[in-house]
Amino acid sequence: MKIHEYQAKELFRKFNIPVARSGVAFSKEEALKIADGLGGFPVVVKAQIHAGGRGKGGGVKLAANPEQLLTIVDQFLGMTLVTHQTGPEGRIVRKVLVEAGQSIDKEYYLSLLVDRQTEKIVIVASQAGGIDIENVAEKTPEKIIKVHVDPLLGIQGYQMREVGFRLGFPALAMKQLYALLFNLYKFFVEYDASLVEINPLILTSAGDVLALDAKVDFDSNALYRHKDLLELRDFGEEDPMEVEASRYNLNYINLDGNVGNIVNGAGLAMATMDIIKNAGATPANFMDVGGGASSQQVENAFRIILADPKVKAILINIFGGILRCDVFAKGVVDAARKTGVNIPVVVRMEGTNVDMGKQILTESGLNLTSASDLLDAAAKIAAAVN
Amino acid sequence: MSIFVNKDTKVVVHGITGKEGSFHARACIEYGTKVVAGITPGKGGQKMDEVPVFDTVSQAIKETGANTSLIFVPPPFCADSIVEAVDGGVKLIVAITEGIPIMDMLKVKNYLTTKACRLIGPNCPGIITPGECKVGIMPGKIHKKGNVGVVSRSGTLTYEVVDQLTKAGLGQSTCIGIGGDPVTGTNFIDVLAAFQADDETHGIVMVGEIGGNAEEQAAAYIKEHMTKPVVGFIAGLTAPPGRRMGHAGAIISGAGGTGAAKIRAFKENGVHTCENLGEIGRICKTIF
């Protein structure tokens, strides 16, 4: 689960991770009030959306006086911000962070994440912080420092020193960096984060270390033990259909094509999308109803996909293991009747009680096309939309 | 022979009195698996059908000689259950549970590296040696005894592959789902090495997915260490790239992780590559 920068910074404050003074504003008036409270200009205005690349995309601006502040906030609120991480459709800006301007001496990059390969928590740091870090990683990987922390031991003193010395951190600021690393690691572990990224981490001209940005992603499997985080979820940043699907524990991603599909199991769902594409059609979604989904789940899935106006046909691909084909077929027939489906539906079933399942579909009198195997299903669905 | 499980495997089911646990324990028994014990703390002394239930793993091992754990415990308690099995002394743990926090699995995995115990999963369908032993939730009926080893990251996709193999007349030595989570107990290379050493396995089907770089590493291992033919499939080749939040993921994985990179790694390392799931049975028939 992603949160906004302003929310992440509030959490940082609780863990004594130094951030600049700031506040979140939903209107021009609020922005002005916050700037007053910060004790003067310049202030930085940062669009709050769940994506990186805001600086390059024009979502971060400096205001030297109240007039400039009002102009910038007016421009930001309601605008669609496109960055290389939002996709071409961009995101609507609904709030801005107003932060005290800083005099920056040096910018660094710092992040913590779970490294799948080593199965450790890895600290990633670079002297070449700022908006071009992706370029740095690609062209000069030797400038990226990686230190792996054993989750059973936690972060060690020498590991913090290694980050500090390899970053070439000035001796006077080293203690501040160690405290920040220690607290950041603590934050990461205690809150079950999967990513914490500070870009840039800055050294001010006064010699202080500050997290000037904060990007945090949490492990959704661990949210049950962090009830306070649930309140930070911003549904406005998510696809409404995906939100609806998540209410029913359906694993759904909205895509651009016109072939809706319902599959049990994530791997099979991905492979089914591939098959649709190979046959010359394009999937409208990824939908995994779960390996052992109930007929109720199938009905929910059906409803969500039918609500998508771009869907011109539906392919259902079920491998019945725990989920028996006869139970599943009943779910499809019920769902089709209730929703009054009026587009072609191709059903391919295999596994436990498949013959009973096929019989139920045939006897339903509904316009459901049965497919004998995957290749047949792909050919039939492509014929239906092309 | 076969790998990891056979007719001598004695299973203790964690969470045997729960809905999932009892349902699948019964299906395993029906398949012929020796399910010798169950665990539900507080229900020691009871029975699930004919299976004695114990409060702790160490008791179950002492009384029944169980050597393999099959875990259905809910996510908040699953890491604890895995560690209890490790400390109890079983040699193999199969964790079916989906949704374990990654921080829990990181700790468990790093603990396991110091122990002589194998974990399969979590978030997996389990393992089956057809005709001998099923420790998992896969439908037993689609399998057939034979000489193809199957290793996969997913559940129903594995069933699809096995079903096509069986229909093409190709039986299986052992089929393993290693699980789709970022941190898993057993990886592709562990299984490939075991299949290479197993006399009964003549060829291998490896079913991967986009994301991570386990398939690329496995492909390099295959070229270096395997003499048996391997057929590879990757699910998600046409999936649009995910919208990343930070830069960190990209920094770690570099160019790896995409379907195209995995297919290229397969082809460059002598893995027979299947690009359409509908044809995997036919392709295996030609190669094996």
- Predicted confidence (pLDDT) per residue in B234-257, tens digit: 998 877 665 333 344 434 444 457
Amino acid (1-letter code) at residue B64: T
Final residue of a structural domain among A72, A100, A128: A100
- How far apart, in Å, are the Cα atoms of B104 and each of A65, B101, B126, B154? 49, 5, 20, 21
- Is A312 within a domain? yes
**8 A C-beta contact, residue A222 and residue B103:** yes
DSSP character at residue B245? S
- Number of C-alpha atoms within 13 angstroms, CB side, residue B67? 11
Rounded Cα distance between B24 and B20, Å, is 6
Domain B138-287 has CATH 3.40.50.720: no
Q: Which pLDDT score, from 0 to 100, does residue B256 have?
A: 56
- pLDDT tens-digit series, residues A47-78: 999 988 898 889 999 999 999 999 999 999 99
Identify the CATH number of the domain in which residue A291 sits. 3.40.50.261
**Residue of B183, B209, B238 with shortest CB distance to A267:** B209
**8 A C-beta contact, residue A90 and residue A78:** no
Asked whether residue A300 falls in the same domain as residue A351, the answer is: yes
Calculate the CA dihedral of residues A166, A168, A172, A174 and round it to 10 degrees: -20
Bridge-based pairing of strands A120-126 and A104-115 is: antiparallel
Identify the CATH number of the domain in which residue A134 sits. 3.30.470.20
Rounded Cα distance between B268 and B264, Å, is 6
Rounded Cα distance between A12 and A34, Å, is 19
Write out the two tokens for B268.
Answer: 């460059």
Write out the two tokens for B46.
Answer: 């009871």
**Residue of A87, A114, A374 with shortest CB distance to B277:** A374
**8 A C-beta contact, residue A150 and residue B214:** no
Final residue of a structural domain among A173, A206, A230: A230
A143 has pLDDT over 90 = no
Is A29 annotated in the active site?
A: no
- Is A221 within a domain? yes
Asked whether residue A285 falls in the same domain as residue A370, the answer is: yes
Among residues A20, A54, A38, which one has the least CA distance to residue A211?
Answer: A20
Asked whether residue A72 falls in the same domain as residue A113, the answer is: no
Is B247 annotated in the active site?
A: yes
Q: Which pLDDT score, from 0 to 100, does residue B249 have?
A: 41
A90 has pLDDT over 70 = yes
Q: Which pLDDT score, from 0 to 100, does residue B250 have?
A: 39
- Is A131 within a domain? yes
Query: Across residues A106-110, what is the average pLDDT?
Result: 95
Among residues B182, B189, B254, which one has the least CA distance to residue B224?
Answer: B189
DSSP character at residue A224? G
DSSP character string of A31-71: HHHHHHHHTSS-EEEEE--S-S-HHHHT-EEEESSHHHHHH
Distance from CA of B102 to the nearest CA of A (A): 7
Among residues B221, B212, B154, which one has the least CA distance to residue B183?
Answer: B212
Rounded Cα distance between A246 and A233, Å, is 13
Q: Look at A158-167, A242-251, A321-330 and tell me which has the smallest mean pLDDT.
A: A321-330
- Is A357 within a domain? yes
- Confidence band of A238 (pLDDT split at 50, 70, 90): confident
- Is A235 within a domain? no
Q: Is the peptide bond before A240 cis (omega within 30 degrees of 0)?
A: no
> Please, which residues 231-260 of chain B have a Cβ atom closer than 8 Å to chain A?
233, 235-240, 243-252, 254
Asked whether residue A34 falls in the same domain as residue A137, the answer is: no
Q: Which pLDDT score, from 0 to 100, does residue B242 have?
A: 55
Domain range B10-120, its CATH number among 3.30.2010.10, 3.40.50.720, 3.40.640.10, 3.40.50.300: 3.40.50.720
Asked whether residue A198 falls in the same domain as residue A318, the answer is: no
**8 A C-beta contact, residue B129 and residue B138:** no
Asked whether residue A199 falls in the same domain as residue A119, the answer is: yes
**8 A C-beta contact, residue A81 and residue A47:** yes
Identify the CATH number of the domain in which residue A87 sits. 3.30.1490.20
- How far apart, in Å, are the Cα atoms of A269 and each of A31, A184, A332? 46, 37, 17
What are the φ and ψ backbone dihedral angles of B217, each rounded to 5 degrees? -65, -40
Q: Per the structure, how many domains does chain A have? A: 3
Judged by CB atoms closer than 8 Å, whether chains meet at A51 and B209 is answered as: no
Radius of gyration of chain A (CA): 26
Final residue of a structural domain among A211, A230, A249: A230
- Confidence band of A376 (pLDDT split at 50, 70, 90): very high
Asked whether residue A275 falls in the same domain as residue A298, the answer is: yes
Structural domain containing residue A145: 104-230
At which residue do the structure tokens 């259909």 appear? A241
- pLDDT tens-digit series, residues B32-62: 999 999 999 999 999 999 999 999 999 999 9
Q: Which pLDDT score, from 0 to 100, does residue B246 have?
A: 37
- Is A9 within a domain? no
**Residue of A137, A273, A350 with shortest CB distance to B239:** A273
> Please, which residues 118-147 of chain A have a Cβ atom closer than 8 Å to chain B?
119-122, 124, 133-134, 137-138, 141, 144
Bridge-based pairing of strands B34-39 and B47-48 is: unpaired
- pLDDT tens-digit series, residues A292-326: 667 778 888 988 998 899 999 999 999 987 778 88
User: How confident is the prediction for chain A on average, in pLDDT?
Assistant: 91
Query: Across residues A212-225, what is the average pLDDT?
Result: 94
Asked whether residue A377 falls in the same domain as residue A252, the answer is: yes
Rounded Cα distance between B70 and A350, Å, is 26
Asked whether residue A121 falls in the same domain as residue A87, the answer is: no
Among residues A227, A229, A254, which one has the least CA distance to residue A1?
Answer: A229
Rounded Cα distance between A72 and A66, Å, is 10
Asked whether residue A119 falls in the same domain as residue A194, the answer is: yes
Rounded Cα distance between B214 and B208, Å, is 8
Per domain, the residue ranges of chain B are: 10-120, 138-287
Q: Which pLDDT score, from 0 to 100, does residue B248 have?
A: 42
Q: Do the first three CATH levels of B10-120 and B138-287 match, i.e. the same topology?
A: yes
Q: Which pLDDT score, from 0 to 100, does residue A129 have?
A: 74
Q: Which pLDDT score, from 0 to 100, does residue A331 have?
A: 84
Query: Is A117 at the interface with chain B, CB within 8 A?
Result: yes
- Confidence band of A18 (pLDDT split at 50, 70, 90): very high
Q: Which pLDDT score, from 0 to 100, does residue B116 have?
A: 94
Give the best-scoring range by mean pLDDT among A115-119, A287-291, A335-339, B113-117.
B113-117
Judged by CB atoms closer than 8 Å, whether chains meet at B252 and A225 is answered as: no
Write out the two tokens for B240.
Answer: 């649009």
Asked whether residue A80 falls in the same domain as residue A36, the answer is: yes
- Is A266 within a domain? yes
Q: Which pLDDT score, from 0 to 100, does residue B251 have?
A: 43
Give the nearest chain A residue to B217 (CA atoms). Answer: A117
User: Which residues in chain B come in under a pLDDT of 50?
Assistant: 243-255
Asked whether residue A131 falls in the same domain as residue A226, the answer is: yes
Judging contacts by C-beta atoms under 8 Å, the chain A residues touching residue B104 are 222
Judged by CB atoms closer than 8 Å, whether chains meet at A268 and B153 is answered as: no
- Beta strands across the sheet bearing B68-71: B47-48, B51-54, B34-39, B10-14, B68-71, B92-95, B118-120
